[in-house]
Amino acid sequence: MCGIIGYIGHRDAWPIVTRGLKKMEYRGYDSAGIAIVNDVGFNLYKKAGKVSSLEQFTDGKDKSGKIAIGHTRWATHGEPSDCNSHPHSSNDKRLHIIHNGIIENYAVLKETLLTRGHQFDSDTDTEVLIHLIEEIQNMEQTDLLEAVRLALNEVIGAYAIVILDRGNPDQLIAARKGSPLVIGIGADEHFIASDVTPIVEYVKNVIYLNDNEIALIKTNQLSIKQRNNVVQTPLVHELELKLEELEKGGFDDFMLKEIFEQPRSLIDCMRGRIYPKEGKVELGGIKHYADKLTQIDRIIIVACGTSWHAGLVGEYLIEKFAQVSVEVEYASEFRYRHPIIRKDDLLIAISQSGETADTIAAIEIAKNKGATIFGICNVVGASIPRSTDAGVYTHAGPEIGVASTKAFTTQVAILTLIAFYIAQQKGILAPAELTVLLNELNSIPSKIQRVLAENEHIKDIAFEIKDAKSCLYLGRGSGFPVALEGALKLKEISYIHAEGYPAAEMKHGPIALIDEEMPVIFIATKNSSYEKVISNIREVKARKGKIIAIVTEGDIHVKEIADYYIEIPDTDEAFMPLIATVPLQLLAYHMATIRGCNVDQPRNLAKSVTVE
């Protein structure tokens, strides 16, 4: 959600910033802009639409300079337009800001500033912030860094900001609270960005700004202080991300590449954590809480979107193997209730990016009530792993497509390992039992590879149902969250309405929608609910619904009923979601591409939801 990129150094800034904006297009946006300073002047260019529209707009114009800030905006306050695009300027047009987040008290601040003669060019909360900084600097007769610090003490909300002063063009000011910001350290140069994606080709060392920190950034100088004016000694991290991981690698789209990366990402996720021969699971990130996990009697999982679906699978697994009560909550609802949280509870927060605003807020609620907090995250150095007591990285590698694929399967894999780890610590699963389960889990990547070999068959099915106006996804047990995830993928990238339901609930409403035009996708693998699902399929067949079934290899009963079927390898029921999700991802992908949709950047969506 929104992309920030800034540069100060010895190189030409424009190509670095425009390339960076393109690298962050996956975050979702509706406009783009750049402010750039050179020895003789200053230029501000911004345009609604894609970065390519900004490039066309600036063709032939002066783009020289060694210091620049750029932004891709996802609208919150004010519609997408040229004037609402970032960067925004102060009243005297000397200061310029890019901002990710929301200033909640902007209306009150704006009203005060209007009485003091300020005039606004946009409908945004961001413009109010830069006017406030200007007003404080003029009133207090202080430098820009101090003006920013004082202004942020008056602000309620979340922000990641970078400020350029055309009157002092040898520095940038950056600050964050609740929205991510990373500073790349080069040789006599610095880069500032929302995440490492746009700067990994230039630097190996980065600093992740913490909440309430403000940075003064010059070509060869970096200083950081807290909002309370206490100077900080930053922790420098070495990037492990490789540039080639951010390329499509011969695939038409990042989403397809990431679907096909799942066997490898699962291997990376499990490496060094499972020992089938010994019948043992090792999770170094939470090992210091091993004894406490034997006493836990309630786990609360908080997440949003796809991560919430992974949490639902985790609920089945943890309750089955670890025999611990689990509640799965939407973080966006959890934070606005009055949840009952005890000091003995464990809260597990799941987020691919580690920056999901609602999930971070849920963590703070649980932390204030004394609960133990674990995080499951993909991005090293993100806010969630830094704010939790312990946790486990998924090691899925960068996920550029907005619709999560490998993030889901690796999150499910980690939850599986947590279920086994707790069961192991409690003595519920003996090493011999774990050996059987871990051997099967170890085989999942190769079984997913076999599913991926069915890509063309799945594409053929997509052609047959591409004109559907609505689809229904049904499953039982852990097949229910798989159905939810399959429906979400279709909605996200093809813009076809889809709903996931427990198959048994079909008779409580959704069955009224079924006719010969309605594709119904069943998770119909051989498991403890197999016969029940067959009964549900027959009910749909009797009403002329078009049936697409995910079945176990060798199945004969469902094949006789279904209009189309996709076979997946047999596995233990516990691991079915890891395999059954993959054909649903491919089905959604192909339906979207056949319909001409942009699968990597679906409309109105952002990769990381860092605001409410």
DSSP one-letter code for 178: B
In this structure, the number of other CB atoms found within 10 A of the CB of residue 603 comes to 11
At position 37, the amino acid (one-letter code) is: V
Instruction: Identify the three-state secondary structure at position 357.
Output: helix
In this structure, the number of other CB atoms found within 10 A of the CB of residue 17 comes to 26
CB 53 within 8 A of CB 75: no
Going across the sheet that includes 325-330, the strands are 325-330, 298-303, 346-351, 372-377, 390-393
| Residues whose CB falls within 8 Å of the CB of residue 432, separated by 6 or more in sequence, listed in order | 279
In this structure, the number of other CB atoms found within 10 A of the CB of residue 232 comes to 16
How long, in residues, is the chain?
612
Long-range contacts of 15-19 (CB under 8 A, 24+ apart): 16/68, 16/191, 16/202, 17/68, 17/69, 17/70, 18/51, 18/54, 18/55, 18/70, 19/198
Task: Locate 447 and state its tokens.
Answer: 């079984």
* Beta-ladder partners of 325: 298
| Residues whose CB falls within 8 Å of the CB of residue 213, separated by 6 or more in sequence, listed in order | 175, 176, 224, 225, 226, 227, 232
**Closest to 100 in 3D by CA, of 36, 51, 157:** 157
d(CA 135, CA 155): 14
Return phi, psi of residue 523, to 5°: -90, 100
At position 121, the amino acid (one-letter code) is: D
d(CA 71, CA 162): 10
Phi-psi region at 155: left, alpha or beta (left = phi > 0; alpha = psi -120 to 50): beta
List, by residue number, the catalytic residues: 2, 607
**Closest to 533 in 3D by CA, of 552, 519, 517:** 552
Please count the helices (runs of H) and the strands (runs of E) in the chain. Answer: 20, 27
**Closest to 566 in 3D by CA, of 545, 546, 587:** 587
